[in-house]
Structure 1
Amino acid sequence: MLQAIGDLQAGDQREQQSAIVKIMDYCKLVKTLSNDIQLSYGGKDADRQRTNGIFTVKSGVRTVAYINLETIRTVRRRHMGVQNLRDLRLMIKKNNPVGWQIKKKLDRLRPAMEQEDPYIIGILIALAQSQRRIGQDRRKGERVYVIALPGTRAPVAYFYKAFIPAAFLNKFDNPWEAHECA
């Protein structure tokens, strides 16, 4: 267990992910086969939220997601049509104005503090929706957790805990209906 905690400070994402899996296993949480979780809107899958791991309790309820903050940057770059940083540098070199425009857009999309990235909120909401689909009582809110690690060596880990109220989740399920918010 102590070795796994030490591996969290590794600069390599695979080592960090392996350490998270060991720690979650110690906490009796099992990693699911898929790293993606669906964000639904109006009863349909609207977007796929990419994570580095989703963990469940024995009952199958998804409760914890793990994300490396470098993964969020990669998702954002790919959304802008850039596979990796080398492609962006080549694009700037070949077609300077277009490359710089894409770089400026990426810079504007990057949050000032990476640990406050809005993408994490999407993961929390998608986890709550997933729990709700499995659960029986649609009148209760859902408690969800995300663990985020920086892509580089850092002595910190970010833990997010959220309670998503049922009224908020209802707005995603039936956006055309009026819902009470307490």
Structure 2
Amino acid sequence: MLPSSIATPPSSPTLSGPPQAHLALLETAAIVPEPGSINAILREHNRSRLFVHPIAWTMEQPRLLSCRFGARKLHWHPPGLDDDESVAGKQNAKLRQERIELARQQQNFNSIATSAADLPRLSPVLAFSFGGRAVRLRTDGIFALGSTDCFLAYLYLDTVDSLRRLYVYGRPYERPNEPMMSLKEKKLGSLQPLNAVEDPYIMATLIALAQEQRRQIQETTVSESSDASSKVPDSFKVPQGPDTSLILKVALLVITVAPARVLYAYKAVIPTAFLDKFESLARCTSSGQIKVSYSKLRIGNPEGLIDRLPWALGLSHEQCQSVAKE
């Protein structure tokens, strides 16, 4: 059963759910799982707690699914802008200037968010499908970029932190006694990623975003006999080899702190063969490694941000203008 609201502590399965649901899922498998399938992975690592809500994922789940993050450096910088600039060690006068600049950056980000509000906006909750079941993943917004088949999501890391705390501690009125609190603090610490911008929840969100994009494509082509790939906008198509399976592009913007100073732009290409693994748990479909690349973007210069977003997100310049225009 799914949570009744996005504020409810997540507890449903997707490589997720209670151990009892995990065992029931394996027992109902009609065939022996193929090596490399999700059921085979769960059986092989039955002593590890893999069958949990994505908010409780560690880097183990992405690794076993052959998913990885890869940082990318933007080689072009607007004049006077340096992504590697650090505040540490600045003189007091420069620190004061930084505070003024920070206020201006926040105003610019608010302008970006306001312009994004004009785009067709979808529910901020994604359905992560797994073996015919679904669990809800919360984002801070999902926008349609020119077509219902194309989505851009954004997410605050503060939101991820709040969801993870809610998952571990429960609601305030459900807080346990001191000994239990100590255990829960230890559990929360074990779930914190070493690198916040490579949070496994980000990986799960991108997978769920690809699943949602695929559902939208299927819905728009349900009455047509043409191949679903012909319905994907040209800007979201990837040249394909002999394998004719559809390949989807997904994009995500992550805001690290509030007030926001830096955006992280994530992009990935996810073949439907990879998504099939979550529908047919006993089958191993060849999809190769899924790489999620991400880049750091400062938002102090909205004009420069517009020029850099297309490369960082893998979107068309027109789509990025609709999101990042001043």
Counterpart in the other structure of 1:144: 250
Q: Which residue of 1 aligns with 2:116?
A: 24
Give the C-alpha shift of residue 25 in structure 1.
Answer: 5.0
CA shift at 1:62, angstroms?
A: 4.4
In the alignment, structure 1 residue 109 sits paired with structure 2 residue 191: yes
Deviations 1:73-126 (A, max 9, x none): 111111113346xx79x85xxx32211111111111111221110000111000
Shift of 1:164: 0.8
Between Structure 1 and Structure 2, which shows a larger proportion of helix residues? 1
Aligned identity (percent) is 34
Aligned length: 163
Q: CA deviation at 1:165?
A: 1.7
Matched to 2:121, the amino acid is K
Q: Deviations over 1:38-87 (max 9, x none)?
A: 01012332x11100001112431241111110110111111113346xx7
Report if aligned partners of 2:145, 2:152 keep a CA contact under 8 Å in 1: no
SS in 2 for 1:65: strand
The unaligned stretches of length 5 or more in structure 1 are 1-5
8 Å CA contact retained: 1:40, 1:126: yes
**Normalized against structure 2, the TM-score is what?**
0.45
Q: Counterparts of 1:12-51 in structure 2 under 5 Å?
A: 19-24=111-116, 29-32=119-122, 34-45=123-134, 47-51=135-139
Normalized per residue, the structure richer in strand is 1
Cα distance in 1, alignment partners of residues 282 and 254 from structure 2:
34
Aligned letter for 2:116?
M
Contact between 1:145 and 1:159, CA under 8 Å: does it hold in 2?
A: yes
Match 1:120 to one of 202, 211, 231:
202
| Deviation (angstroms), 1:141 | 1.4
Q: Distance in 1 between matches of 2:121 and 2:216?
A: 17
Q: Are the counterparts in 2 of residues 54 and 62 from structure 1 also a CA contact under 8 Å? A: no
1:30 CA displacement: 2.3
**Mapped contact 2:125–2:139 kept (Cα < 8 A):** yes
1:74 aligns with 2:166: no
Using the size of structure 1 for normalisation, the TM-score is 0.76
Q: 1:25 to 1:146 in 2, by over 3 A?
A: same
Q: Is the 8 A contact 1:128 1:142 kept in 2?
A: yes
Runs of 4+ in structure 1 off by over 4 angstroms are none
Aligned partners of 2:151 and 2:209 also within 8 Å:
yes
Instruction: Summarize the Cα distance change of 1:76–1:129 in structure 2 as closer, same or farther, 3 Å threshold.
Output: same
Instruction: Give the Cα–Cα distance (whole angstroms) in 2 for the partners of residues 127 and 20 of structure 1.
Output: 22
Counterpart secondary structure, 1:157: strand
The alpha carbon displacement at 1:129 in A equals 0.6
Determine which of 102, 106, 112 is the counterpart of 1:9: 106
Secondary structure at 2:259 match in 1:
coil
* Residue identity matched to 1:39: F
Determine the structure 2 residue equivalent to 1:3. Answer: none
Pair 76,20 (structure 1): closer, same or farther in 2 beyond 3 Å: farther
Name the SS of the counterpart of 1:139 in structure 2: coil
What is the alpha-carbon distance in structure 2 between the residues aligned to residue 159 and residue 37 of structure 1? 19
* Matched-pair contact (CA < 8 Å) for 1:21–1:31: no
Return the structure number with greater relative CO, CA threshold 8 A, min gap 6.
2
Residue 212 of structure 2 aligns to which amino acid in structure 1? S
Preserved contact between residue 7 and residue 19 of structure 1 (Cα < 8 Å): no
Given that residues 77 and 83 in structure 1 are in contact (C-alpha distance below 8 angstroms), is that contact kept between their aligned partners in structure 2?
no
1:69 to 1:8, Cα distance in 2 relative to 1, 3 A: farther
3-state SS, counterpart of residue 204 of structure 2: helix
Equivalence for 1:164: 270
